[in-house]
Structure 1
């Protein structure tokens, strides 16, 4: 009788390609992907051809990512995004201020007829791909002027930087009376190439224009949005502007009304002798003050477009401070959100104010979609609400240190975190959305039976999480993580934080606006009174291969102070707050006296580490 044939076991490189791609989609660290690529030639070719794209889209699916790119581009993007995630979690931030050389400080004496208080900086930003280069547009209004900085980047190097200025006085605008109050770049789809951009600028006098921000015609008026004489409503003081690039609609709000204007094609060259473009009449408009059964309010504070059919409006002092304006074929229709009960009895039952709105894209969440809104309220809460559901609110976030301080501006980084600007001082607040993540930078660090170090000291009375399993190494076969990797993912060890900006001359200035070029950009821009701040992740700090061309603003680096503020859950009882949290100040001195392992496994960036901690920390990681 013939002996049975011994079947040889399958090896990893002989598996079908579709099975290997599924395996690649399950890897949660870039190191795992790189190690797999190093096992054999076949897997190296497979991962080089599509493995890094799969890794990026699996681990960072809540970010708006490029729709195309070469294999090398996806590998570079994996390096960039993993480094940025580590910087966010470890508070590895670098701050620079941008200010005019002769900016007058707040409360300075007036001279030569100049304003004693600088204008508020209102900023917007956009990243656009042109071939192998990225172009970053940052445009801001400073008083009656409009300023822009355009950077061309090649990976980690700034190859060129140009500045442009449109002086308001040269076009008849007066400081104070005609200051810029809102600004919005007409953004092409992310990373779309060879598309000229424009910026919509609204002013305190009601003027609303589309300006060119191309190199050759910066500041030229492409369209002037203004109702014809005899129109039923008056366009006074533009409060907010937003643009839906897909539908070609500009939405603006005054103190009482919402206006819709069409964006016509503006990329054709114009004759040099054209002084002013024709006026553009609104498509539709509606007065919220005149709408039937509408509760009273003082004025419109903010406004954002969800899509070509829905606009959210934030009101000052109203019992229904958020309204939804629906764009229909017959005009604009107003509705209110479900009333939100007062969760904070210490606030009182007075009219409420919503200061800032931010649409949130939740399509990457299972079952997500529709219109999800993040809104900042005058009681210090930031509320997340799906407009499709009847529930008044889906989640409430709150600074657990400054419990009742309202927020002036919001900007999000995918569904991982959002940044808020204080309405009272020069402070930025970083919040985690607390949704499940696809990537944790700590997963690539060594195992340990210890807890993450140093232990956070939140301003609220929260106990450190209990974890009885002290196994020193992860067992991936059984799906069990070691103590250190398990607790590193816990909300307690990933607290939110407040960032105190270092620019003392502007200590009384709140944050008026926030902007970011894209989800993959390492920089967020914050507008204060007379000052623009660059908030950059450490891994994204770029060198310049050529000097800047005629810089209009002076750039200075500053050291910030950071305070960890807990998990960001709403607080109903302020007596549970302990008001002595720990403040850490950045120090960029040399850390050679600590080991590499100590620096990497410390929860915080080297610039925030205390030398005294190294001696306590080294026995834990030995």
Structure 2
């Protein structure tokens, strides 16, 4: 007779493959998958062949994941995504600034040579797979110039780094009137990652071009987008650009108008050709002719090849929806949004930033769901199809009325917002159900998560009456620590105060991320590009580079936890000042003690006095 353990292993191994794959979909930690793979050779082969792909797709289903990859690639991705999730929850961030050498711009006075007028950084990024390497493209406009950094890297090291500069003055653009106002990388078609990328650049003088970002032809104009002189409306200052890569359509907005341009296939342009191809718009509309009073268009985003959302400055209906039809652009309006805050007056409103959100991974989700930032400090999530005008309202519970200039999301797990008033980033949790919690892989305990958050609003700590010290998965009951670790109270949002003092008065002008699987975000300030990387994605080895155009410097940020992010209807309830934690990197940062590992926050943010009251977890 076989030992019980061998018999159990044999029975599990003999289950049909389909049943085993279903079981894999219910495992909620990478450790559980690895332990199952270690039970016998048959399960090890099964999990190596497809188990890690199932784990990643079930735990991180709201993220845009690779559509293909080897078994080893999926195992690497499982390690990367679980580490990134832990870093997000523990605020394990590393920040670097990228700044150009100081130089006086042409419109600065000669007797003020030491004073420069930095251009606002407008950034976009994209990550694509080529062979065994990931290629990360980061392109930004700085004043009249366009700069790019291209990195080739694997999961561990950066293999190469190249910098490129397209000087605006060489193409006849002058500082101020020729400054870049919007940048958007044209992504390749799905399954055509070998296609060369381009970047659409809009400028303050109305110029709109598709530039090459191929290393050998960087900065060359591939297409020049402008309406013919007999067009009824004119293309002046470009305010926003968005590209729908599936339909190959560019949407561009000026202060009053919205244009649609096709991205046409193009042959390589001979270097001696004096003029690039001129592309006429396929549609255009003036919102001044179709809408009520507003000052100008602030932002614009394409949901899909049929719908465009437009944000307006100072309007009673500051979000407009344009439908792309066979005859051109037609305007419709979303449901009117009532005032939610009694402490705000009923004057015209401004929407500063828009972000389409893909909610198809949520039961009943789909359609045109929009995240928008308003001048009253709220960030509103609304489905443009439904009668309910606002599905959810988010708000910084500390700086209640500070508006947001830029938005970027990480699936349906969280989004990052850039302040319109200062060099501050705000991290919000969407508060949707999640497929993965890094705390599930840590030991059981009858303790509450520590340290206890101190939110700005006066709320009580959640109660948990089942004071069990171990989880009972058969009965579906969690221990105190694992249950409360999932509670919103112990996963507060946070504000990140950037350390670059010379840029303290600069708002965040733009945000970009290469992909949902990338550990890095980028923020554009006035004259400064900030690289925001999760700690697990930081490369320890030196980065091989050609001549770097920007100086790179690491900085220590301060973090303030701001509560659950729900809208504040009574501003008098925000009575407390949360604790500000400043990063402090030391030799003990990578210590493996239980007190440090089960602390809610990263080691760089921990106070050693907090470890003293920690009770060890149950083994």
Gap change, CA 1:390 and 1:273, over 3 Å in 2: same
> Which residue matches 1:553?
550
Q: Which runs of 5+ in 1 are unaligned?
A: 1-6
C-alpha displacement of 1:590: 2.0
1:412 match: secondary structure: strand
Contact 1:28 1:439 in 2 (8 A): yes
**Among 433, 436, 439, which residue is 2:433 paired with?**
436
1:590 equivalent to 2:573? Answer no
* Paired residues of 1:452 and 1:487 also in contact (CA < 8 A): yes
1:215-273 CA distance string (max 9 Å, x none): 1100000000011112111101000000001101000000001000010013x322121
| Cα 1:394–1:182 shift into 2, 3 Å | same
Q: Which residue of 1 aligns with 2:241?
A: 241
Task: Give the superposition deviation at 1:504.
Answer: 0.2
1:129 and 1:192 in contact (8 A); partners too: no
Instruction: Name 1:281's counterpart in structure 2.
Output: 280
Aligned counterparts of 2:162 and 2:190: Cα–Cα separation in 1 = 22
Give the superposition deviation at 1:547.
2.3
After the TM superposition, which residues 465-544 of structure 1 pair with which residues of structure 2 at under 5 Å, given as runs? 465-544=462-541
Residues 138 and 148 of structure 1 are in contact (CA less than 8 Å); yes or no, is this contact kept in structure 2? Answer: yes
How many angstroms apart in 1 are the aligned matches of 2:24 and 2:593? 29
For residues 469 and 155 of structure 2, the distance between their equivalents in structure 1, rounded to whole angstroms, comes to 39
Secondary structure at the aligned position of 1:62 is classed as coil
Aligned to 1:21: 21
Structure 1 position 488, deviation (Å): 0.2
Would the aligned equivalents of 1:122 and 1:527 in 2 still touch at CA under 8 Å?
A: yes
Report the Cα distance in structure 1 between the residues aligned to 2:115 and 2:276, rounded to whole angstroms: 31
Moved more, 546-555 or 71-80: 546-555
Quote the offset at 1:290 in angstroms: 0.7
Equivalent position of 2:226 in the other structure: 226
- C-alpha distance in 2 between matches for 1:460 and 1:124: 36
Task: Select the residue among 337, 342, 345 that pairs with 1:345.
Answer: 342
Gaps of 5+ in 2: 1-6
Corresponding residue for residue 604 of structure 2? 607
With normalisation by structure 1, the TM-score equals: 0.96
Could you give the per-residue CA deviations for residues 269-312 of structure 1, whole angstroms, max 9, x where no partner exists?
Answer: 22121232121110000000011xx2100000000000000000
Corresponding residue for residue 151 of structure 2: 151
Deviation (angstroms), 1:579: 3.7
Q: What secondary structure does 1:617 align onto? A: coil
1:198 matched residue in structure 2:
198
CA positional deviation for 1:439: 0.2
Number of residue pairs matched by the alignment: 611
User: 1: distance between equivalents of 2:309 and 2:589?
Assistant: 52
Q: Which segment drifts farther, 595-604 or 549-558?
A: 595-604
2-side partners of 1:13 and 1:552: how far apart? 57
* Equivalence for 2:460: 463
Q: Does 1:212 align with 2:212?
A: yes
State TM-score, norm by structure 2.
Answer: 0.96
Distance 1:620 1:18, change over 3 A: closer
Name the residue aligned to 2:307: 310
1:449 aligned to which of 446, 450, 453? 446
In structure 2, the residue matched to 1:4 is none
What is the rounded CA distance, in whole Å, between the counterparts of 1:119 and 1:588 in structure 2?
32
Residue 612 of structure 2 aligns to a residue whose secondary structure is helix
Q: Distance in 1 between matches of 2:533 and 2:277?
A: 41
584-593 or 220-229, which moves further after superposition?
584-593
Secondary structure of the 2:20 match is helix
Report the Cα offset of residue 109 of structure 1.
8.2
Deviation of the 1:615 alpha carbon = 1.6
In structure 2, the residue matched to 1:407 is: 404
